[in-house]
Amino acid sequence: MKITIVGAGSSYSPELLEKLGEMREELPVTKISLMDVDRERLNTVGGFCERYAKHLNLPIQFETTTELSKALPGSDFVVAQIRVGGNAARINDEKIPLSFGLVGQETTGAGGFMKALRTIPAMLEIAHAVEKYCPNAWIVNYTNPTGIVAEAVNKYSKAKIAGLCAGGLNPRNWTALGLDIKADNIRYDMVGLNHLSYGYNITIGGKKLTDEQFRAVATYRGEKDAELCVKLGALPSPYLQYYYHNAKRVKELGEKKLSRGEEVLLVEKEVYQDFANPNCDTKPESLAKRGGGGYSDIALGFISAVYNDKDSWIVVNVPNRGTISWLPDDAVIETACVVNASGAKPINMSPAPMAIRGLIAAVKSYEKLTVEAAVSGNMDLAEMALLAHPLVGDWDIVKQMLPKLIDANKQWLTKF
C-alpha cells in the first residue's frame, strides 16, 4: 500500500505517521512518497519522518521528490495539503481586506477568495496528474479552502476527491465533552459548506438530545453563543463567528499586533528547527503551538474505510446530488456520509433550520463564481464573486480592493 503526500513539507505531515502507528493492522502502508516544491522543507520534514517512523517501529520506505510524475505512480491514496504562496501570501489575505474594514482571514471572506484563486489551478494540476499516473487513487484533500477545491476538482477533472476538515467532528466533540460521555455513538445531521456548516438533530445511540442536553452542549461550545445556538436549533462552525459577530471580530483583528499568518511564521521557524535536529525522533513540543491538529483521524479514517470497504460515518465535502433540495445538485456540500470502497455517499438529513439556509445559499453562489473565476482568470467573474460574498457585498469596496489583492498575488495568478 502506497500513500503519496503532496505538500509533504508541511508541518502537519508527522501527524499522519503518528496515526498510522495506531492503525498499522488495518492500514499496512509499505511506502510513502513525500512530494513538495520546496526542496529545503521537503528534506527537513523527510528526514524527521524517517526518524519518527523508526521510533514508531513502522516499516515504511520513504522517498522524497519535487515532481508529481515521480511521486504518484503506484499510489493508492494521495493526501493533498499544499499552501500556494506559503504563509507570506496568507498575511496579505489577512491584512488587505482588514485595511478596507473587512474580515481578514485565510479561508473566509476576501482572504479566502484569494487563497482559492491561488490554489484551484494548482490543485487541478495535481488532479490531472493523478488521472495520468494513478487514476484509481483517491485524493484525500486537506488543502484549504477544501470545499471550493473539491468543487473545482469534481467539475474540471475525473479524479476522485474527498474534501476533509477536522471541523466536521466539532459537534461530536462538543457533545461528548459538554455531556461528559463517550463520542462513539454520537451522530448528527450536518448541513452547509466547509467552514460554514451546522450540526443539528444530534443523537446519542439513536436518541435525540433533550432540550436541556442541547443547551448544555451549546453552553460548552461557547457560553456567549449558547442562546444563539438554541434559537438557531444548531451548532455553528466556529468560522460563523465572522458572520454573527462581524463588527466585533473586525475590530479585534485590527487591534492585534500580529496577524495569524505572522504568528504561524514565528511558530513554524521553531518547528522546522526542531525537525532539522538529527536527534529529534518524536513530535517536538513546538508542534503543539502550530494549531489545526486532529486532521489525521479523519484522513486515515477515510482511507481505512475505502481500503477495507468498511462502512464508516464521516463528514466529507461531496457533491450535493439532491441531498439539500435548495442547493444545486453539483454544489459541493459538507455533510455526514457513509464511506466505504465505493466512496462517500451523503446520508439523508432532516430539514435544515430555516434561519441558516439563506446564508449557506449565498456563500455557495460566491463559491461557484470563485471556481469559474479561478479557472478562467476572468476579472468580471472575480468581481461578482466578491460582491456575492456576504462578508464583502459592497461594490465600491470591491472595485478598490480587488486590484490590490490581484497585484499582491500576481506571481501565483498566471491566468489573470
3-state class (DSSP) for residue 230: helix
Indicate the DSSP class of residue 264: H
What residues pair up with 3 in beta bridges, in sequence order? 32, 77
Residue 161 lies in a domain: yes
Residue 133 lies in a domain: yes
Distance CA 202, CA 169 (A): 12
User: Does 156 participate in catalysis according to the annotation?
Assistant: no
Give the percent of the chain with pLDDT over 90.
Answer: 94
| Owning domain of residue 83 | 2-165
Q: Which of 86, 17, 70 is nearest to 45 (CA)?
A: 17
Distance CA 404, CA 406 (A): 6
Residue 94 lies in a domain: yes
* Residues 6+ away with beta carbon under 8 Å from 370: 113, 116, 117, 120, 148, 382, 385
Distance CA 4, CA 341 (A): 19
Distance CA 250, CA 247 (A): 5
Residue 346 lies in a domain: no
Distance CA 415, CA 397 (A): 23
Distance CA 272, CA 254 (A): 29
DSSP string for 25-74: TT----EEEEE-S-HHHHHHHHHHHHHHHHHTT---EEEEES-HHHHSTT
Model confidence over 191-238: pLDDT tens digits? 999 999 999 999 999 999 999 999 999 999 987 899 999 999 999 999
pLDDT (0 to 100) of residue 391: 98
pLDDT (0 to 100) of residue 222: 87
Average pLDDT, the chain: 96
The neighbour count for residue 348, using CB atoms within 10 Å, is: 9
pLDDT (0 to 100) of residue 289: 80
Residue 113 lies in a domain: yes
Q: Which of 17, 22, 69, 73 is nearest to 46 (CA)?
A: 17
Q: Which of 133, 142, 239, 295 is catalytic?
A: 239
Distance CA 173, CA 238 (A): 13
Number of domains in the chain: 1
Model confidence over 51-100: pLDDT tens digits? 999 999 999 999 999 999 999 999 999 999 999 999 999 999 999 999 99
- Lowest-confidence range among 146-160, 213-227, 284-298? 284-298
Residue 242 lies in a domain: no
Is the per-residue pLDDT at 253 higher than 80?
yes
Distance CA 167, CA 190 (A): 11
Task: Report the sign of the C-alpha dihedral through residues 364, 365, 370, 371, in that order.
Answer: positive
Is the per-residue pLDDT at 290 higher than 90?
no
Separation in Å, CA 247 to CA 98, 214, 251, 252, 253: 12, 28, 6, 9, 10
Residue 43 lies in a domain: yes
Q: What is the CATH number of the domain that holds 117?
A: 3.40.50.720
**Can you tell me which residue has the cell 487513487?**
137
